């Protein structure tokens, strides 16, 4: 079997999907890339820090730093040593800012007028001009909202006109063994026109929307289980929640948020009911998956760790997740390296695709295309041992 099936990566960021590609043939929660036939030949992004992260972890990958809107497809192919039609797979997630709920207070986003949304057209352009055997596009589920119907319909139409038969579905990461309640839409298409069958979910549990649990599936992976063998490390001073709401944050129990400090709960009666965003002073629960890690959270935006720490004055304080814990939440390998300072690392992690979720989708596609033999890790259900931290 060809061990070097080339992949083009657009909007690569820190490489969550790239990591999934190069580890797609390994069992869940295993990070040995020796068995994957796929290799990222070329990766593009406008973020120099993210590309430094890629270089640390994918030294064989050629990188292009620049605006995709002014980067010709021919330049991308040349950098990867490819001709039109050579790539087995094209992957990427155009920046999700235009479609994310976290910025709906911006009028241009509510009206679907964010100019960055045009980056979807650039993705289609590179697919059309590079003609990969298949593609995977991922984004926030907000891309599928009615607010963005015109752009989403244009995306699907453009991919069809390019000669593909795209399928799409919103997947909840926790339903595939990721300790995070993160929803992403995946759009997948094949050059031969055969429809892609999305992999079956393997895990079940309570989410922010669902209370019905499928007992035939593996329980959601909780954070305590995900962190169980992490070595102890000192908490950075910058990870301790200080300032105006420090005392209030420390008093919020696991699984609660600022609503604890309203007249309806047992905390201090400080805030009005539903006067803040849900993530304000939000504390994680040890036995449940994390809520979505955000790329650029404000000082009071959680989820924060469920345990408090003491600051230099001996005061009890909430704390943010460490980088090692965030990597576990996103199912990055423990030895995955990030360039930049603490804030830049969080931005890269928060913008990434959970590696295990990406692996499941890539693996399933490679099986259906005949590049990998089915072994129970793609559209077939893996064993409890493979997909559970427990």
H-helix or E-strand spanning residue 180:
strand 180-181
Instruction: List residues with catalytic annotation.
Output: 96
- Fill in the DSSP letter of residue 81: T
265: burial class by Cβ within 10 Å (0-12, 13-18, 19+)? middle
Q: Closest Cα to residue 295, out of 10, 11, 12, 13?
A: 13
Q: Say if CB 129 and CB 84 are below 8 A apart.
A: yes
**Distance separating alpha carbons of residues 389 and 179, to the nearest angstrom:** 9
Cβ neighbours of 179 (radius 10 Å): 28
Cα end-to-end distance, the chain, whole Å: 34
Q: Which residues pair with residue 218 across a beta bridge?
A: 203
Cα 147–116–83 angle (5° rounding)?
A: 115
Structure tokens that stand for 46 in this block: 């406008």
Q: Closest Cα to residue 387, out of 217, 184, 235, 270?
A: 217
């Amino acid at each position: 079997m060809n061990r070097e099936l080339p992949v083009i990566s657009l909007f690569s960021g820190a490489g969550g999907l790239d990591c999934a590609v190069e580890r797609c043939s390994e069992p869940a929660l295993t990070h040995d890339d020796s068995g994957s036939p796929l290799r990222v030949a070329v990766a593009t992004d406008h973020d120099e820090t993210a590309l430094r992260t890629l270089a640390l972890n994918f030294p064989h990958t050629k990188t292009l730093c620049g605006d995709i809107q002014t980067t010709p497809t021919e330049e991308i192919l040349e950098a990867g040593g490819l001709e039109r039609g050579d790539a087995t797979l094209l992957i990427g997630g155009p920046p999700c800012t235009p479609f994310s709920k976290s910025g709906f207070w911006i009028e241009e986003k509510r009206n679907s007028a964010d100019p960055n949304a045009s980056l979807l057209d650039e993705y289609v352009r590179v697919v059309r001009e590079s003609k990969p055997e298949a593609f995977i596009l991922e984004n926030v589920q907000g891309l599928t909202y009615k607010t963005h119907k015109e752009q989403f319909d244009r995306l699907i139409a453009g991919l069809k006109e390019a000669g593909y038969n795209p399928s799409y579905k919103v997947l909840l990461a926790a339903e595939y063994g990721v300790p995070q309640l993160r929803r992403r839409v995946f759009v997948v298409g094949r050059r031969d026109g055969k429809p892609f069958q999305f992999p079956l979910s393997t895990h079940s549990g309570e989410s922010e929307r669902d209370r019905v649990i499928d007992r035939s599936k593996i329980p959601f992976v909780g954070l305590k289980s995900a962190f169980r063998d992490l070595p102890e490390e000192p908490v950075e001073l910058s990870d301790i929640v200080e300032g105006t709401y420090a005392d209030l944050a420390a008093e919020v129990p696991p699984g609660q948020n600022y609503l604890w400090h309203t007249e309806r709960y047992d905390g201090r009666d400080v805030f009005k009911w539903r006067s803040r965003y849900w993530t304000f002073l939000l504390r994680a629960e040890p036995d449940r998956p994390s809520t979505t890690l955000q790329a650029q959270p404000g000082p009071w935006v959680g989820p924060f760790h469920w345990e408090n720490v003491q600051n230099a004055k001996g005061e009890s304080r909430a704390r943010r997740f460490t980088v090692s814990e965030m990597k576990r939440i996103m199912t990055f390998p423990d030895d995955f390296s990030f360039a930049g300072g603490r804030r830049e690392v969080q931005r890269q992690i928060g913008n990434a695709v959970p590696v295990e979720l990406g692996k499941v989708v890539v693996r399933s596609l490679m099986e259906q295309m005949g590049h990998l033999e089915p072994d129970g890790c793609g559209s077939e259900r893996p064993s409890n041992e493979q997909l559970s931290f427990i």
